[in-house]
Amino acid sequence: MRVLRLCSVFEPPASALAAESAAAFDPIGGMQNHTGHLSRALDALGIAQTVITTRPPTAPAVAPLGRHGRVIRLGLPIGVFRQCYSLYAWRRLPGLAPGADVVHAHLGEDLAIVPLALRAARLSGAPIVLTVHCSLRHTLRVTGPRSFLLKTLGGALEGYGVDRAAAVITLTDRLRRELARPDVHVIPSGVGGEFRADPADLGPGLPAGVPRPRIAYVGRLHPQKGVDTLLRGFALFSASAPGHLVLVGDGPERARLRRLAARLGVERRTLFLGFLPHERIPAVLRDVDVLVLPSRYEELGSVLIEAMYAGVPVVASATGGVPEIVRHRESGLLVPPGSPHAIAEALRELTADPALAVALASQARRRQAAELTWDALVHRVVDVYRSVLSRQGRSRACPAG
């Protein structure tokens, strides 16, 4: 079976994380990890794939993907122009789409994906499988002109793509209900093999000497993620308690967040680590006491699954499909989006009651240990491929589930 994967972002080479323009390009994120892990897991099953995506700084234009595939990165390796990849992709599809058995498109905040998927399907005659990572109609919140454009134009394109896909995959049951169409499959993000490594083999986590309790955020420094709310909550918490805040990631909000930390008086207790290769995240999580995801809106938040798998108690905004993963007071603590006081109170509760923190983390770990690994999830994706090919009467062989 041959899969043509269309995604505006894909996991970058490690060199791209250190590039001067890396922060503007957002090389690390949930969709990057999702598409990378899924593609490698499919490759291990013998499925040939061509991935068409953007080109971050330092990334080669063409690179092998495992034993059976390749990654084709298009566009200019400059953050401000990265969406030009769609123009290059449109021109390249006649040479790349024919021969594909499935067109698998990954929809986030990218207006080009649906038109590209429809063109690829016309050129190849292959069915479209559409994974909606962040619904522009049902998840995105309007906060300015850009998000308004995404909500209106992007939401219309999303609806057009959902209606014309042979199958749709969502990360949460909440979004499956919102889409209200047949043949929607719920397949969340999972954890990769790096989380099953022996702790002794994980390598360095946090720098030595960071005081406890260590409260961590892992993700993009972007307005959507609400890191400013976390900083304000941490300032309230740290006014009467020890602790250190560790921010892993980078993005357009970095300078503003540094200024905010200084204004709140917590700059000496806040560590900005910048981008780290994803294979280092298990070691970082090993070294922290609480993981916080304070997003203003979020469909799932794959770092929550990773933290829960690693045995770290989590605090998360009760938004989107997050409550399906984090059950309040069963597998973590939920707080209202945008509430520094609620974050501060959750941090006080978890750090003052180690037994509660251990109980929540243990319950979460039990729920995630088997069912949310890519070794298991990949077979559910293959089942979707098999079902759409069967309905079209296409005869390419699929690996056994």
Q: Do 280 and 221 share a structural domain?
A: yes
Q: Do 112 and 243 share a structural domain?
A: no
Q: Do 354 and 378 share a structural domain?
A: no
Ranking 110-114, 142-146, 148-152 by mean pLDDT, the lowest is 142-146
Task: Determine contact, residues 80/9, Cβ cutoff 8 Å.
Answer: no
pLDDT at 352 over 90: yes
Q: How many residues does the chain have?
A: 401
Q: Which domain holds residue 250?
A: 197-368
What CA–CA distances, in Å, run from 9 to 6, 26, 371?
A: 9, 9, 25
87 part of a folded domain: yes
Per-residue pLDDT, 194: 75
Q: Do 164 and 50 share a structural domain?
A: yes
Ranking 113-122, 150-159, 195-204 by mean pLDDT, the lowest is 195-204
Residue 77 has, within 13 A of its CA and on its CB side, a CA count of 18
Distance CA 241, CA 58 (A): 43
Beta bridge partners of 52: 6, 72
Dump pLDDT digits (tens) for 288-324. 999 999 999 999 888 999 999 999 999 999 999 999 9
Ranking 154-168, 341-355, 366-380 by mean pLDDT, the lowest is 366-380
Q: Do 340 and 206 share a structural domain?
A: yes
pLDDT at 22 over 70: no
Q: Do 321 and 227 share a structural domain?
A: yes
pLDDT at 21 over 80: no
397 part of a folded domain: no
Scanning the structure block, which residue is given the tokens 């993005």?
Answer: 251
Distance CA 321, CA 298 (A): 7
Q: Do 238 and 257 share a structural domain?
A: yes
Distance CA 248, CA 232 (A): 17
Q: Do 185 and 162 share a structural domain?
A: yes
398 part of a folded domain: no
Rounded average pLDDT over 363-371: 76
**Which pLDDT band holds residue 401 (cuts at 50, 70, 90)?**
very low
**Which pLDDT band holds residue 40 (cuts at 50, 70, 90)?**
very high
Structure tokens at 67: 């034993």
What's the mean pLDDT when you consider all of the chain?
89
Between β-strands 69-74 and 62-65, what pairing exists: parallel, antiparallel or unpaired?
A: antiparallel
Residue 355 burial by CB count (10 A; 0-12/13-18/19+): exposed, middle or buried? Answer: exposed
400 part of a folded domain: no
How many domains are there within the chain?
Answer: 2
**Which pLDDT band holds residue 81 (cuts at 50, 70, 90)?**
low
Distance CA 396, CA 231 (A): 52
pTM above 0.85, yes or no: yes
Q: Do 116 and 96 share a structural domain?
A: yes
Per-residue pLDDT, 82: 64
Q: Do 186 and 91 share a structural domain?
A: yes
* CATH number of 350's domain: 3.40.50.2000
42 part of a folded domain: yes
Q: Do 228 and 286 share a structural domain?
A: yes
401 part of a folded domain: no
The continuous run of DSSP H or E covering 400 comes out as none
**Which pLDDT band holds residue 185 (cuts at 50, 70, 90)?**
very high
**Burial 5-32, CB ≥16 within 10 A → b, else e:** bbbbbbbbbeebbebebbbbbbbbbbbb
Beta bridge partners of 63: 71
Q: Do 265 and 175 share a structural domain?
A: no
